[in-house]
Amino acid sequence: MTTSDFIVNVTEATFEYDVLSYSQNVPVVVDFWAEWCRPCKTLEPILEHLAHEANGSFRLARINVDESPNLAIRYGVRTIPTVKAFSGGEVVGEFAGAQPEARVREFINKITPPSPLTLALEKAESILATQNWSAAEIHFRNILAQNPDNLRALLGLAISLLPQGKSFEALNILQSFPAGREYARAELLLPLAEAQTAYRDGLLPTENDLDIAYSNCVRLASKGNLPAALDGLLDIMRQDKNYRDGSARRLILSILELFNREDEQVRQYRSELASILF
């Protein structure tokens, strides 16, 4: 695991200082784990990611229960992973078992004031969810000006650029996107950035009616008319579900990444796509 000022390995000898004393000023989230625990390895990167994102608004302390069994007994740890939050030297919250990031984030938010960076990201992403692309772009650029390595903001910027037809910059971002939690979404966005760039450069095929329709769908997506682009791509697939080695399918999946993942339209379009494919 990664260690830093706000991620530490704790033993029985250091617990009083690194957890109890430290929690008098900053909340400490204690992760009870063991090397042999598979769910622990699932939870670990989530906790680390949130600790780095919080940038010091809480400390993550990791305790190996095999090496520090007395601490596990002292705090009634019956299963691992178990996570306990300390503030003022007392346990103020806890959960057991591997949890999805959204639930862990909710747990962390209850014990820590959000950092200015977290607030800025949440505001930018809420604007993005309303599909106000230009306003979201401004917010993500402002975040990146102060935090150039923040991948969450970098992904948000790429998403905001594509429906505005700013494919060249988006493509550069996505082609060199660093490894991290956002990498998978960046990969899914690549087909749209590539198709928009090819359309802009006049490189999309125009051999038949489906090619013309496909080019029009790319144009519509570049203008931010996402429903019309998706409807057109689904129509192409109804006529040829393997159009150009799956190009229409990949573009549909790419465009869906521009939506808020909780948007009902995403579920509907995925359902229509599945009905065509299967």
Whether omega for the bond prior to residue 81 falls within 30 degrees of 0, making it cis, is yes
Name the active-site residue from 10, 29, 37, 193: 37
CA distance 98 to 219: 43
- Whether 40 is catalytic: yes
For residue 27 the two structure tokens come to 């909340």
- Whether 217 is catalytic: no
**SS (HEC) of the chain:** CCCECCEEECCCCCHHHHHHHHHHCCCEEEEEECCCCHHHHHHHHHHHHHHHHHCCCCEEEEEECCCCHHHHHHCCCCCCCEEEEEECCEEEEEEECCCCHHHHHHHHHHHCCCCHHHHHHHHHHHHHHCCCHHHHHHHHHHHHHHCCCCHHHHHHHHHHHHHHCCHHHHHHHHHCCCCCCCHHHHHHHHHHHHHHHHHHCCCCCCCCHHHHHHHHHHHHHHCCCHHHHHHHHHHHHHHCCCHHHHHHHHHHHHHHCCCCCCCHHHHHHHHHHHHHHC
Name the active-site residue from 19, 28, 40, 54: 40
Return the active site residues.
37, 40
